[in-house]
Amino acid sequence: MTRIVIVSNRVGPLSDEGKAGGLAVGLADALRKRGGIWFGWSGEQTPEGIDGPAHVEDGPVKLVTVDFSEEDADEFYSGFANQTLWPILHYRVNLANFERRFETGYDRVNKRMAAKLMPMLESGDTVWIHDYHYLTLGQAIRQGGFEGPIGFFLHTPFPAPEIFAALPNARRLGRSMLEYNVIGFQTERDRRNFRRFVLDELGGTTEDGELLDVDGNHVRTGVFPIGIDAERFAEFAVSSEAQRRERQVRNLIRECQQIIGVDRLDYTKGIPERFHGFERFLEQHPESRGRIFLLQVAPVSRGNVDAYSDLRSEMESLAGRINGEHGGLDWAPIRILTRGFARKSLAGIYRSSRMALVTPLRDGMNLVAKEYVAAQNPDDPGVLILSRFAGAAAELTEALIVNPHDDEDVSGAIQKAFHMPLGERQERWNALNAKVRKTTAESWAANFLDVLDQIHRDENTARRA
């Protein structure tokens, strides 16, 4: 087996302590059994930044991280990655900031990270780059002389080409992505959007819809929905730590039912819209007051970007208003926790919740939906309410699928879940659980890497012929 070198902005941890972010969780699950190198940002800022010494944590998976300078963190991470690309990839053109210094910072960090990586690469390595932070890193590595396979996986959605084209450097970014041997997407919709972008905006062609060609440069595209290590997560859910959490919740809620929401505090997750949907439910079903509440776990994310701090204020004041208007002396409809939880505790919290509201406005996949399913008690499983705009909805069709913008629809789904008979809950859960267990993080990585390996070999054979 060749050595795998993974590059992503966020690296690890491989332990199970309070981490938030689907990429880190999915990659840790995938790499734990396979081994390799994982390279990216330490999360720290120092004056030397990328030029300073790398931090190395040895183990079956070798973690190699570098610091950023303040300028790199500002222009690359908070800037182009999270104020320009992230909103565009999630269809929020109104929130995108097109400051030119962000673009310069993005190019600089992509090139410097490639230069830092080059001496670590050996012939025979396979490089797998992840997510929107590093769209152009593959090109920089190729230009540095690396000849092995380079793959790319986009964890977020790829938007309709009309939206992506709003980026001032959309064409240049798109063209640089042709340097990858394989690009993986979460869903067919994302792949189709990318294909339309390449054909309409870059003048590309395709014969089979998968291999895209622009002036002799070509890239293979594929759909590889990411999963979780479901078996391990199900074990977490019956661990003593999870059981302790479950008891804690049940003692607190007694006859009440708990709805759970778990999301990084991000405007793509539809948290205010979810609160409006829940409020609608309380208005339409006054008899349910005091019998159900929503626990929203929302760890703060990217807090120095205005759109994120604005969202925090919006969420808190909305919950305050709803609690004030609808609550009683012994019952508040919405509780908010902004802390992180260890994975076992989280599994216990999922298991003690009668339903999960996973209602992002746009999401690449959404691992919370899969974790909620994996954590359920087969004898008394909860109900998953899932946005049609999450990548997970393409697979998890037995969930109650909703339009998160429509508070009537969300309210109706809560009512249905609240009264769903055990037989139907079990039937839906059995189907969902079978799917969650089938496409795991490990099989996701193996599928992608098999395709990458095959494509690279075919291309070498064709080149030699």
- Annotation says 406 is catalytic: no
Based on the number of CB atoms within 10 Å of its own CB, is 32 exposed (0-12), middle (13-18) or buried (19 or more)? middle
Residues whose CB falls within 8 Å of the CB of residue 405, separated by 6 or more in sequence, listed in order: 273, 361
Nearer to ligand ADP, 245 or 264 (CB): 264
Q: Of these residues, 125, 363, 407, 409, which one is catalytic?
A: 363
Which residues, other chains included, contact 251 with Cβ-Cβ below 8 Å and sequence gap of 6+?
A: none
Q: Contact between 40 and ligand G6P (CB under 6 A)?
A: no
Active site residue 218: no
Stretch that binds ligand ADP, among 22-30, 45-53, 417-425, 457-465 (CB under 6 A): 22-30
Token pair 């390799």 is found at: 36
Distance CA 260, CA 204 (A): 45
Select from 5, 19, 22, 375 the one that contacts ligand G6P (CB under 6 A): 22
Inter-residue contact 102 to 87 (CB < 8 Å): no
Return the SS3 of 434.
Answer: helix
Q: How far is the CB of 157 from ligand G6P (least distance, A)?
A: 10
Q: Which of 169, 366, 387, 440 binds ligand ADP (CB under 6 A)?
A: 366
Single residue of 65, 69, 301, 433 touching ligand G6P by CB under 6 A: 301
Q: State which residue, 21 or 320, has the beta carbon closest to ligand G6P.
A: 21
365 binds ligand ADP (CB under 6 A): yes
For ligand G6P, the binding residues in 242-271 under the rule CB under 6 A are 264
Rule CB under 6 A: choose which of 28, 117, 249, 367 binds ligand ADP: 367
The answer to whether 204 and 427 have CB atoms below 8 angstroms apart is: no
Closest residue (Cβ) to ligand ADP?
22
By CB under 6 A, residue 299 contacts ligand ADP: yes
21 binds ligand G6P (CB under 6 A): yes
Q: Are 129 and 150 in contact (CB under 8 A)?
A: yes
Q: What CA–CA distance (Å, rounded) separates 465 from 462?
A: 5
Q: Using CB under 6 A, pick the residue from 6, 11, 14, 23 that binds ligand G6P.
A: 23
Of positions 14, 20, 374, 375, contacts ligand ADP by CB under 6 A:
20
Q: In what order do the strands lie in the sheet with 205-206?
A: 55-57, 61-68, 36-45, 4-10, 126-130, 150-153, 182-185, 217-223, 211-214, 205-206
Looking at the DSSP bridge assignments, the partners of residue 131 are none
Residues at the interface with ligand G6P (CB under 6 A): 9-10, 21-24, 131, 155-156, 264, 301-302
* Residue positions annotated with a catalytic role: 155, 363
